[in-house]
């Protein structure tokens, strides 16, 4: 008994907050593209924030529930429907045995997150359940989900069990939902904040001006590893040799063609292209929800401003968690 994959859709994988501490061995961090949506999804069903969830991309994923399950759906709006009826997002949901949850074409964003109360029972590899597709490790047998795969859920936490029992006797979803706008947005055109990269000063003045004042489109060459951009070219003052060095989620590299590449969750551990900027951590979830042809504007901020934005986001996430606890206590 579990959750059977009826149709895998474009791409469905198991992801958590990532695989830390092993980059020195050439193993990437990986994890969810939109970390904020993952964390909130787990909060809603009583899981710890780092629990593994299902990351669904764009369209087509269908799940058959072989038992009653408490879930939540966050992230991009891919028009989730249970037995043909659209269901609300950003709140706990009870899905009955025999029901089919299907994701249709994206209305906004491009990645949805489905958390299951009790988590998904898959082996923990290097302290993570995240799927690393290129290496074939983690997640469900190290690969994307396929038709007829069956996911098993773990034991619900005490809070998860309370919510599960509450929804057994009440409507199958609660009347309240969370306000996610402080953590992730779903606009087709976004201003993404960046700090200076380690080779910023090596780019010529016109290139830096273009980078910070003109729009870039996300090309069709965009996936979990990186977003290739198209727009004004960016060039160095003069060529120089650069040894490969560490990169991270949001690093903006510039190859020889002058078109920037933003490294995403499944980026490599090191890179040898000059780095003009770094997307701030607070803006990564919103960036992760952008699709091909969407437009990015870059805005330079200081390191201190980037740190304050992240601290503020973490404070608001803590307040959100307290608010959830209050709502639950009022409904008991």
How many whole angstroms separate alpha carbon 297 and alpha carbon 284?
Answer: 14
In 3D space, the residue among 316, 331, 257, 254 whose CA is nearest the CA of residue 285 turns out to be 316
pLDDT in tens, 136-195: 999 999 999 999 999 999 999 999 999 999 888 867 667 788 999 999 999 999 999 999
Mean pLDDT for the chain?
94
Q: How many CB atoms lie within 10 A of CB 245?
A: 10
Q: Confidence band (pLDDT; 50, 70, 90) for 218?
A: very high
Residues in the chain: 332
Q: Where in the chain is the domain with CATH 2.40.100.10?
A: 189-301
What's the pTM value of the predicted model, to 2 decimals? Answer: 0.95
Q: What does the pLDDT read at residue 239?
A: 86
Enter the CATH code of domain 189-301. Answer: 2.40.100.10
Which has more confidence, 289 or 269? 289
* 9 exposure class (CB count in 10 Å sphere: 0-12, 13-18, 19+): buried
* Phi/psi of residue 184, nearest 5 degrees: -155, 140
How many whole angstroms separate alpha carbon 110 and alpha carbon 266?
Answer: 16
Q: Confidence band (pLDDT; 50, 70, 90) for 326?
A: confident
Q: What is the mean pLDDT of residues 81-85?
A: 96
């Amino acid at each position: 008994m579990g959750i059977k994959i009826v149709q895998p859709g474009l791409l469905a994988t198991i992801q958590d907050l990532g695989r830390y501490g092993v980059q020195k061995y050439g193993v990437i961090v990986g994890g969810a593209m939109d970390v904020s949506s993952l964390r909130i999804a787990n909060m809603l069903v009583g899981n710890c924030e780092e629990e593994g969830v299902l990351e669904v991309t764009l369209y087509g994923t269908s799940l058959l529930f072989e038992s009653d399950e408490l879930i939540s759906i966050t992230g991009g709006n891919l028009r989730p429907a249970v037995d043909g009826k659209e269901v609300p997002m950003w709140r706990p949901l009870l899905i009955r045995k025999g029901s089919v949850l299907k994701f249709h074409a994206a209305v906004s964003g491009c990645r949805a997150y489905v958390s299951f109360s009790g988590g998904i029972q898959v082996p923990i590899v290097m302290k993570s359940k995240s799927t690393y597709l290129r290496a074939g490790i983690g997640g469900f047998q190290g690969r994307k989900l396929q038709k007829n795969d069956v996911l098993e859920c773990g034991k619900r936490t005490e809070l998860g069990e309370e919510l599960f029992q509450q929804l057994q006797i009440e409507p199958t979803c609660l009347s309240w939902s969370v306000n996610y706008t402080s953590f992730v947005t779903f606009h087709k055109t976004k201003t993404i904040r960046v700090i200076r990269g380690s080779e910023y000063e090596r780019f010529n003045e016109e290139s830096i001006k273009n980078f910070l004042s003109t729009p870039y489109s996300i090309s069709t060459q965009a996936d979990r590893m990186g977003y290739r951009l198209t727009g004004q070219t960016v060039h160095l003052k003069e060529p120089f040799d650069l040894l490969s060095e560490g990169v991270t989620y949001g690093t903006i590299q510039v190859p020889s063609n002058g078109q920037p590449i933003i490294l995403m969750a499944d980026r490599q551990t090191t890179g040898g292209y000059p780095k003009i900027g770094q997307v701030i951590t607070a803006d990564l979830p919103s960036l992760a929800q952008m699709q091909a042809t969407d437009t990015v504007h870059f805005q330079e901020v200081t390191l201190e401003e980037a740190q304050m934005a992240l601290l503020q986001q973490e404070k608001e996430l803590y307040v959100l968690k307290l608010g959830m606890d209050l709502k639950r206590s009022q409904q008991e």
